[in-house]
Amino acid sequence: MNPKSIIKLLTICITILLVLILFSQIKLSDIVYTLTVLNYFHLLFAFILYSCSYFFRTLRFYILLDKKVSLKDLFHIVCVHNMANNIFPARTGELSYVYLLNKVHNKQTGEGIASLAVARVLDLFIILIMFFISLYFVEFLSSSVSKIIWIAASFMIILIVFFALSLYFGTYISLFTRNIFIGLKIDRINVIIFLLNKVDEVIESIQAIKSFKKTAFLELIIASFGIWLSMYSFNFLLVSAMNIDLDFLSVIFATSFAIFTTVLPIQGVGGFGTLEGGWTVGFITVGLASDLAISSGFIYHTIIWIYFLILGAWGTLMLKRNEPKEV
């Protein structure tokens, strides 16, 4: 069995296991109660904010592609891409962006992969910045929880160091890593080959950032902040709609745990289980009761599904309508 098949099988198993564990901790009445207190007026504004995040994603890809593809066409691609990304496990839906860019605009696969990889690196670092800001202001964490979070924060700092080193010494890091595995005589194992190739791809995408002009890089940063300010504001509105009384920075902190499950390649099938798990951990950490944390996570995820399916269906329809007709 190849590494990709193993990863897919693992994500399916993890999804089923996590969903069963989470459902075993609540009653159906918990979800029904949370639904009854929903403020549907907030949901309308939440959809507007969610759509705003799509606009900023579109703007970022527009900049990454050197403004050679129209914003209108890219918006339709982003709608379909985000839908696929939320449905398929382990971020395999990312391939839809590369495929559509090639099919609709004849962009080379390498160009699509490079722009997507840079976007994901920017996502991770903007989320980390906002997470650390919120962490500084969240004061009601227990000492044991704080230790766990700071361990995770240390890991994230290692990622930042890796990013900085890859930016300037990526070739040497790649070569050094390969030499280690060659020395251990395990470089021909399929899983190791797969991992080494992924490391190379990440380093190449990070080094691609150096080719951007300073003005373009600033635009990318602004667009990336626009994406995540929209998404965190969206999260805050949904949390408020479920009658959960938390301030904005606490919501940023709590929902970051769920967001990490969608940005990193650990997402379950449809995101189920993994997103709710991250959501639950985040909200229990800020003091929410476990039953409310779990039930609100499932409701949040359901609303997300409704929103991305609406936008995904719109994007699919527009792409179909604009397809060149065969003579």
Q: Where does the pLDDT of residue 250 fall: very low under 50, low under 70, confident under 90, or very high at 90 and above?
A: very high
Q: Give the pLDDT mean for 282-309.
A: 91
Task: Decide if pLDDT at 212 tops 80.
Answer: no
Task: Report the sign of the C-alpha dihedral through residues 45, 29, 253, 302, in that order.
Answer: negative
Asked if residue 158 is part of any domain, the answer here is yes
Structure-token match 């198993």, residue found: 13
Of 241, 283, 243, 242, which Cα lies nearest the Cα of 259?
283
Q: Which residue has the higher pLDDT, 230 or 180?
A: 230
Tokens of 238: 């949904």
| pLDDT tens readout for residues 14-25 | 778 888 888 788
Range of the structural domain that residue 47 is part of: 34-321
Helix boundaries (H) for the chain: 3-24, 28-36, 40-64, 71-87, 95-105, 109-137, 143-183, 190-208, 214-241, 248-263, 274-285, 290-321
DSSP 66: T
Give the whole-angstrom CA distance, residue 29 versus residue 33.
Answer: 6
Task: Report the sign of the C-alpha dihedral through residues 41, 47, 49, 52, in that order.
Answer: negative
| pLDDT tens readout for residues 150-183 | 666 676 677 777 777 777 777 787 788 888 888 8
User: Whole-number mean pLDDT of the chain?
Assistant: 82
Give the whole-angstrom CA distance, residue 288 versus residue 275.
Answer: 17
Give the whole-angstrom CA distance, residue 63 versus residue 92.
Answer: 24
Q: Where does the pLDDT of residue 87 fall: very low under 50, low under 70, confident under 90, or very high at 90 and above?
A: confident
Of 255, 206, 212, which Cα lies nearest the Cα of 230?
255
Asked if residue 8 is part of any domain, the answer here is no
Q: Give the pLDDT mean for 71-87.
A: 92
Asked if residue 20 is part of any domain, the answer here is no
Task: Decide if pLDDT at 264 tops 70.
Answer: no
Q: C-alpha angle 92/316/91, rounded to 5°?
A: 10
All residues at 6 or more sequence positions from 260 whose CB lies less than 8 Å from its CB, including other chains: 127, 278
Q: C-alpha angle 296/32/302, rounded to 5°?
A: 45
Task: Decide if pLDDT at 326 tops 60.
Answer: no
Tokens of 241: 């709609």
What is the C-alpha radius of gyration for the chain, rounded to an integer number of angstroms? 21
Q: What is the pLDDT of residue 74?
A: 93
Tokens of 83: 């839908």
Q: Give the pLDDT mean for 259-283.
A: 80
The total domain count for the chain is 1
Asked if residue 275 is part of any domain, the answer here is yes
Asked if residue 14 is part of any domain, the answer here is no
Do residues 82 and 57 make contact, with C-beta atoms less than 8 angstroms apart? yes
Q: What is the pLDDT of residue 32?
A: 80
State the DSSP string of 233-245.
HHHHHHHHHTT--
All residues at 6 or more sequence positions from 97 whose CB lies less than 8 Å from its CB, including other chains: 77, 78, 81, 112, 116
Q: Where does the pLDDT of residue 327 fall: very low under 50, low under 70, confident under 90, or very high at 90 and above?
A: very low
Q: Give the pLDDT mean for 222-236.
A: 96
Q: Give the pLDDT mean for 30-50.
A: 86
Of 282, 301, 294, 288, which Cα lies nearest the Cα of 31?
294
Asked if residue 26 is part of any domain, the answer here is no
Asked if residue 27 is part of any domain, the answer here is no
Q: Give the pLDDT mean for 279-292.
A: 89
Task: Decide if pLDDT at 105 tops 80.
Answer: no
Share of the chain above pLDDT 90, in %: 29
Question: Is residue 26 helix, strand or coil?
Answer: coil
Asked if residue 295 is part of any domain, the answer here is yes
Q: Which residue has the higher pLDDT, 6 or 88?
A: 88
Tokens of 313: 């269906």
DSSP 184: T
Give the whole-angstrom CA distance, residue 125 versus residue 129.
Answer: 6
Q: What is the pLDDT of residue 99?
A: 87
| pLDDT tens readout for residues 179-204 | 888 888 777 777 677 777 777 776 77
Residue 65: phi, psi to the nearest 5? -95, 20
Give the whole-angstrom CA distance, residue 292 versus residue 90.
Answer: 27
